[in-house]
Amino acid sequence: MVHCRISLRKRKLNSSRKASVYSETSEILCDRIQEIPCLTCPTKPEGAVCILVRLIENLSDVSLLKGIADDMDFCIKLAKKESVIVLPGVTVGLKNWLRISFAVHVIPLEDGIKRIKVFCQRHAK
């Protein structure tokens, strides 16, 4: 019985730590995405480990990124050029959106965001 109580306490502690880390990393991701002109984060996630980010288009639905046709093209080129993997929104029915996980430690998250920013700057029109 004692072992069971200790185990449950550890789970609650781990769960609490994870929630704290996810809260921190989601804030970091949302804030950094807002610094990238061609991307927007319309809502902050609540209770999720990923965020939906929109590729901003101009009024005629043309990407603000040179040489990027859509979200799938963005993700493929980002993976090849910057070694950053994000899920294209089209795979979940959201064309020109990206699904980015923040279920990682802060340092690799910051590095990934920097790489996304560099990629977007390189392709800015």
CATH number, domain of 69, equals 3.90.1150.10
| The pLDDT of residue 44 | 81
The pair of structure tokens assigned to 94 is: 């959201």
**Mean pLDDT for the chain?**
82
| Residue 103: pLDDT over 90 | no
18 CB-side CA count, 13 A: 10
pTM of the model: 0.80
Number of domains in the chain: 1
Question: If you search the block for the tokens 């109580």, which residue do you land on?
Answer: 5
First to last CA, the chain: 64
Tell me which residue range forms the domain holding 102. 2-122
Taken in order 91, 93, 98, 99, the sign of the CA dihedral is negative
Identity (one letter) of the amino acid at 7? S
Strand order in the sheet with 97-101: 39-40, 50-55, 97-101, 87-88
